Amino acid sequence: MNNENLKDSSRAMSKSTTIIVASVIIAGAIVIGSAILSGEKGGVISTTKNSDLKAQVGTITKKEIGIDETFLEKCLSESQKYQDLVNEDFFSGKVAGAKGTPYNIILLKDGTTIVIPGALPFEDEISPEGEIVMIGMKSRISAILSSQSKDLSSIAEDINLSPITKDDHLMGSENSEIIIVEYSDIDCPFCKRFHPTMEKIVKEFSGQVAWVYRHFPIDELHPEARKKAEISECIADLKGEEAFWKYLESVIY
């Protein structure tokens, strides 16, 4: 971002709330980084050898969640159902416009959808000269929450987002003013950077913002991510949502 754009962003932050919202969402197009996806919809299967994955995941899950090798073996041997769940997330992400990760869609109660792509920081990033280099998630969410009585059509996008259901992984209240749907790849370095940001957002805006996590493994870049996603679905199925989120933390941090 050049100096002129940085000055424009700073001026925008001091104008009306609606202009603030438009400014911060447009700035979201300048992302810290994203993984690139190619290919069309088709049958997607895991290519990671089960033995290799057990060596990587078994110790972590046993330590952090308390599952044993027998449990992990069950996940790996009865995986078709979990493959289907991951594929469902993946293809819904493609329909919603995901081309890289993390890909985030803000969903308001009235159905308005706003895209914020990329691994944005929690706080604004400020240059040594005091100019805004990157507007963080906290500022963006605050602006949107304060603008919900106003027209957000200038920043909204018509996204074909699949409905949130009981099968989704939700952190926070389903009755929140904002639900952020994240399409993520467990092994994506930018997703790993963004994960703690989303944890802070849910905590900072408790009761106002919730987080839905959906799988979007990019096999060309992270060949083990899909199998790890399948294991997360198995853990959620057999151990519950709390164990699902603990598993994500154990493989992301």
How far apart, in whole angstroms, are the C-alpha atoms of residue 141 and residue 207? 13
Instruction: Note the pLDDT of residue 91.
Output: 97
Instruction: Note the pLDDT of residue 149.
Output: 56
More confident site: 77 or 103: 103
Q: Average the pLDDT over each of 6-10, 17-21, 86-90 and give the range with the smallest value.
A: 6-10
Domains within the chain, CATH numbers bracketed:
40-119+149-252 (3.40.30)
More confident site: 14 or 210: 210
Instruction: Note the pLDDT of residue 92.
Output: 97
Is 138 strand, coil or helix? helix
Q: Is the pLDDT of residue 179 over 50?
A: yes
Other beta carbons less than 10 A from residue 11's beta carbon: 11
Is 136 strand, coil or helix? coil
Instruction: Note the pLDDT of residue 53.
Output: 56
pTM of structure: 0.79
Q: Average the pLDDT over each of 6-15, 36-45, 120-129, 190-199 and give the range with the smallest value.
A: 6-15
Mean pLDDT of 20-36: 41
Q: Is the pLDDT of residue 30 over 80?
A: no
Burial-class residue 232 by CB neighbours within 10 Å (0-12, 13-18, 19+): buried
Mean pLDDT of 26-53: 45
Q: Is the pLDDT of residue 96 over 70?
A: yes
Mean pLDDT of 83-109: 96
| 243's tokens | 């164990």
Closest-CA residue to 107 (of 35, 155, 177, 59): 177
Mean pLDDT (the chain) is 80
Largest CA distance in the chain: 59
| 126-159 tens-digit pLDDT | 999 999 999 999 999 999 999 865 678 888 999 9
Closest-CA residue to 204 (of 149, 126, 140): 140
| 40-79 tens-digit pLDDT | 344 455 555 555 556 556 566 666 677 777 777 777 777 7
CB contact burial 15-44 (16+ within 10 A = b; e otherwise): eeebbbbbbbbebbeebeebbebeeeeeee
DSSP string, 35-93: ------S------S-HHHHHHHHHHHHHHHH---HHHHHHHHHT-HHHHHHHHHHHHHH
Mean pLDDT of 171-178: 95
Mean pLDDT of 17-38: 41
Q: Is the pLDDT of residue 17 over 90?
A: no
Instruction: Note the pLDDT of residue 51.
Output: 56
